[in-house]
Amino acid sequence: MNAENKLKELGLELPPAAKPVANYVSAVRTGNLVYLSGHGPLRNDGTMITGKVGTDLTLEEGYEAARRVALGLLGSLKAEIGNLDKVRRVVKLLGMVNCTPDFIDQPKVINGASDLLVKVFGDKGKHARSAVGMNSLPMNISVEIEMIVEVED
């Protein structure tokens, strides 16, 4: 089962590519690698999920925020490469969780993104990653993730 069909089967709709509001872009391709900018957790209504996980958000809400970040990353990736079936491998995530200094469950939050990627891409979705705590993120978004993907020639 390829990635585009899998998305349909899962009933998932990708948002359009993120629109940076400054002198940068949402994705850059170099050779067979695509570098995706840090994305935030976009709701269907176009607003962002904000607040610190563990304080303003439960762990479950943090997981859902990370899942939404992954959808946004795939939306920007699709805009860059045209078709997600061209993905050879999800290489690496840096998953950043907005939290207080005593919150230590970042991996369980970022699993929301990792689980989605493996659902969509299967073994090709299994990536290296770091999941870490941040004292603050832009606009107080709850999760920010950047991603590197290897794509076909």
Q: Residue 5 belongs to what H/E stretch?
A: helix 3-9
Q: Is residue 61 a contact residue for a second copy (CB under 8 A)?
A: no
Q: Is residue 111 a contact residue for a second copy (CB under 8 A)?
A: yes
Distance CA 87, CA 3 (A): 8
What sign does the CA torsion over 110, 73, 145, 53 have? Answer: negative
Size of the site for a second copy (CB under 8 A): 57
Q: Is residue 150 a contact residue for a second copy (CB under 8 A)?
A: yes
Q: Is residue 138 a contact residue for a second copy (CB under 8 A)?
A: yes
Site for a second copy in 20-59 (CB under 8 A): 21-28, 30-33, 35-38, 52
Q: Select from 90, 88, 96 the least CA-distant residue to 128.
A: 90
Q: Is residue 137 a contact residue for a second copy (CB under 8 A)?
A: yes
Distance CA 117, CA 7 (A): 10
Q: Find where tokens 């969509």 sit.
A: 120
| Residues in touch with a second copy (CB under 8 A) | 21-28, 30-33, 35-38, 52, 89, 91-94, 96, 99-107, 111, 114-115, 117-118, 125-140, 144, 146, 148, 150
